[in-house]
Amino acid sequence: MSSTNNYILGVYDDEDEVLHAVSEVKSKGIKIEEVYTPFPIHGLDTALGHARTRLPIAAFMFGCLGLVCAQALINYTMVFDWPMIIGGKDFFALPDWIPITFEGTVLFTAFGLVTTFCISNDLYPGKKPEILDLRITDDRFVMAINVDKNKKSAADIKKALKDSGAVEVNVK
C-alpha cells in the first residue's frame, strides 16, 4: 500500500469483536481493504469474502513432481545407466524404492508449498513491510478501509467503525 492512499484504520482489541465488526461494517455497504491481526482468526477470511486458497492444489502438484523425480532418478541410475545385480533381485526393485520415493515426495511438497506461499503473499527475506500500526504484531486487530475506493464519506466510515466496537479510529 502506498502512502498516497487515504486509509482509515479501525483498531480493535479482541478477536471476536473484530470478526463481528467485519460483517457489521460490510452490511453498511463499506468496502474493507484488509484486516491485520497478531494471530490467525478462523472465519475472518470468509467473512471478508476472500476466495479459498489454492495452496493445497499447489502442494499436491509439488508432491506429484517429487514422486516422479525420485522415481526417474532411481530408475535411471538403477535400471538404465548402470544396472547391478543386488541380492539376486530384479534391476527394477520397486518395493526397495518406496522409502526414498516417499522422502522425495515430502521434500518437494514442503519446499514447493513454502515457496508458493511466499510468492503468493509477496514475502521474501529483507522485504520492507508496509506497517499500518506497530501493534498489529502485538495485541491489536486493525481493519483498514481505503476511502478512495468507497462511496461513503470518511465521517460515515469513522462512525461505522466506532459503532462496531473499535477502540480507536486512526487515519493513515
Partner 1 sequence: MSHVVSPIREKLVTGGKSYHDVTHDICKQVEGEPTKEWKWAFGISCIIFAYGAYCLFYTWWQGIGVWGLNKTVGWAWDITNFVWWVGIGHAGTLISAVLLLFRQKWRTSINRSAEAMTIFAVLCAASFILAHMGRPWLAHWALPLPNAFGSLWVNFNSPLVWDVFAISTYLSVSLLFWYMGLVPDLATIRDRATTKASKFWYGLFSLGWTGSAKTWARYEYMSLILAGISTPLVLSVHTIVSMDFATSVIPGWHTTIFPPYFVAGAIFSGFAMVQTLLLITRVVFHLEDYITIEHIEMMNIVITITGSIVGIAYLTEFFIAWYSGVEYESYAFINRATGPYWWAYWMMMTCNVISPQLFWAKSIRTNLMVSFFLSIVVNVGMWFERFVIIVTSLHRDYIPSSWAMFSPTMYDIGDYIFSFGLFFTLFFLFAKFLPVVNMAEVKSVMKGVSTSYPAKKVKASTKTDE
139 forms part of the interface with partner 1 (CB under 8 A): yes
- In the structure grid, which three cell numbers stand for residue 148, read together? 478512495
Beta carbon of residue 65, minimum distance to partner 1 (angstroms, whole number): 14
Q: How far apart are CA 116 and CA 72, in angstroms?
A: 24
124 forms part of the interface with partner 1 (CB under 8 A): yes
Q: How far apart are CA 160 and CA 168, in angstroms?
A: 12
Contacts to partner 1 from residues 40-59, by CB under 8 A:
40-45, 48, 50, 53, 55-56, 59
Interface residue with partner 1, options 65, 67, 68, 107 (CB under 8 A): 107
Beta carbon of residue 120, minimum distance to partner 1 (angstroms, whole number): 7
51 or 155, CB closer to partner 1? Answer: 51
102 or 153, CB closer to partner 1? Answer: 102
Residue in 64, 70, 67, 92 with CA at minimum distance from that of residue 80: 92
155 or 164, CB closer to partner 1? Answer: 164
Interface residue with partner 1, options 27, 28, 29, 34 (CB under 8 A): 34
140 or 158, CB closer to partner 1? Answer: 140
- In the structure grid, which three cell numbers stand for residue 14, read together? 479482541
Helix segments in 79-140, DSSP class H: 94-120
103 or 163, CB closer to partner 1? Answer: 103
- In the structure grid, which three cell numbers stand for residue 3, read together? 502512502
Angle, CA 79 vertex, CA 78 and CA 84 arms, to 5°: 60
Say which residue the cell 478477536 belongs to: 15
